[in-house]
Chains A and B, each alone.
Chain A
Amino acid sequence: MTVSTQAVHRAPRPSSLADVLEVVLDKGIVIDAYVRVSLVGIELLTIDARIVVASVDTYLRFAEAVNRLDLQPNEQVAGLPGLMREVTQGGAKQKTKGALSGAKDTVSDVADKVTGGDEEKQQQEQQ
C-alpha cells in the first residue's frame, strides 16, 4: 500500500451552514403526504435568498472599482469583496429585481429606467 505524502484536505461535510442546509433540505427521496416537523430557527429562505442580479447598481460599482484599481494598481480596493457575488453566470437560472427585467435590456433601456425614476439617487451617483 502506498503512503500518501500529501495531506488530504477533504472535510466530511461542508463548512458553511448554508451549504449543509442546502444539501439536507432540498435533496433526497421524498415521501408524498409526509409533513415535516417545523424547523425552528432555520432560515429556509437563505437557500434561495442569494439572488444573482444584473443590476444597474452592480455595473456602477464595477465601473467605480475599475477606476480605483486604475489609480492604485497595487492596493486592495475597498468594497470589492461582494462585487463578484453579483456577477451573473451564463446559463445560471436567475431571478431579477429592480430596474432590469432580464439580460435582454439594452444599456439605454436601463439608463432610461434609472433617469426616469429616482432623481435623488441619480444625483448621488454623479459625484
Chain B
Amino acid sequence: MPLHVYGVVAADHPLPTLDGVGASAPPVRLVAHAAVAAVVSALEEAAELEEDDAVRHLDVLGELVLGGAVLPLPFGTVAPDEEAVRSEVLAPVADDLRVRLEALDGLVEVRVDVALDEDAELRAVLADEPQLAAASRNASGNLDQRIRVGEVVAARLADRRKARVEDLFSSLPPLAEDAVRVRASDPAVDRLALLVRLEELSQLDAAVEELRHAAGPDVSLEYVGPLPAYSFLERVAPVAQEPEPSSRWGW
C-alpha cells in the first residue's frame, strides 16, 4: 500500500486526529524507527494528487508543528509501503534526523509578506521629482526619451521599495531566533521568514500588528504561520553531527 509521506517527527510526537491527502481523506499516522517517525497516510494505487491535496498537505504539517519540530518533505513524496518508509526513509539517517529535529525543537516559522500600493508609490516618486512629469510631457512622440523617462521611474520605484521594505522589516528579527528574506512567487511582494519559539509567538504577533498599523493603508501585509521551519532546515544545534556524505538524503 503506497504511503504519502508528509515529513519526519520525533517518535513520541503527539499525534492529533488529521485527515490526509487524497479523495478518501485517510487518517494521518506515524511509522516509527528508532527515535524518529515518518508522518504518512495511505494513498490509493493510481492516485493523482491535486491542488487541494497540496493545501491539505500543508495543513497537516501546520497542525503537527504545534506539537513539536517537523522536518517537512516535498509534497507528493510517496513510499511504496511501510517497510520502505522504515528502511529507506528513516533508517539510513535516523541519527541525523534526530539531531536536526533537536535543533528545531520548539521552533516554528512564520512569514511576513509586504506589498506597496502601486499608485501611491508612483505619486510619491513624482512628488519627489516633479521634473519627471515634465520630462514625460516633453517626450511624447519621442520613443527614446519616453523609454528613458520610464527607466528612471522604474529605478526610483525600486530604490524606494528597497528602503521602505528594509525599514518595515527591521523591527522583527530582534524578536526571533533567526530571520531570512525569502523569494515570493509574486514579484510585487517582499517576504521575511522568521524562526521563533512557539511559546514566544504572541510577542511577534503583537509586533506584526503594530507594524501593520504603523505602515498605513498603502502597505498590504500578510502574516502566515506557524509552519515547519522550511527556511531554516540547515540550522544546527550547538553540538551537532555532520550528515553522512554517502546518504541518499539531500538538504
Instruction: Determine whether the beta carbon of A12 is less than 8 Å from that of B116.
Output: no
Contact of B7 among A28, A64, A70, A84 (CB under 8 A): A28
| B146 with A13: CB separation less than 8 A | no
Q: Is B54 in contact with A24, judged by CB distance below 8 angstroms? A: yes
**1/0 contact string of A23-46 vs chain B (CB within 8 Å):** 111111111111011111110001
Interface range, A side: 35 or more
**A39 CA to B74 CA in the complex, in Å?**
12
CB distance from A76 to the nearest CB of B (A): 7
The interface bits of chain B over 219-232 (1 if a CB of A lies within 8 angstroms of the residue's CB, else 0) are 00011111100110
Pairwise interchain contact B187-A52, C-beta atoms closer than 8 A: yes
Query: How many inter-chain residue pairs (CB < 8 Å) link A and B?
Result: 257
B77: contacting residue among A18, A34, A60, A81, CB under 8 A: A34
- Per-residue CB contact flags for chain A residues 1-22 toward chain B (1 = under 8 Å, else 0) read 0001011111111111111111
CB distance A24 to B223 under 8 Å?
no
In B73-95, which residues have CB < 8 Å from any A CB?
73-79, 88-89
Do A50 and B248 contact each other (CB < 8 Å), given the known contacts A66-B133, A76-B119? no
Q: B62: which A residues are within 8 A, CB to CB? A: 12-13
Do B77 and A23 touch across chains, with their CB atoms under 8 A apart? Answer: no
B residues in contact with A82, CB < 8 Å = 118
Contact B154 A58 (CB under 8 A): yes
Contact B205 A20 (CB under 8 A): no
Query: Quick check: is B244 within 8 A (CB to CB) of the other chain?
Result: no
- Interface residue from A64, A84, A125 paired with B118 (Cβ < 8 Å): A84
Q: Among A16, A29, A61, A76, which residue has its beta carbon within 8 angstroms of that of B251?
A: A29
Q: From A84, which residue of chain B is reached at the shortest CB distance?
A: B118
Q: Which residues on B sit within 8 Å (CB–CB) of A40? A: 48-50
Give the A-binding residues of B (Cβ under 8 A): 7-8, 43, 47-51, 54-55, 57-59, 62, 71-79, 88-89, 110-111, 116, 118-119, 121-123, 126, 132-133, 136-137, 139-141, 143-144, 146-151, 153-154, 157-159, 161-162, 183-188, 190, 202, 205-206, 208-209, 212, 222-227, 230-231, 233, 248-251
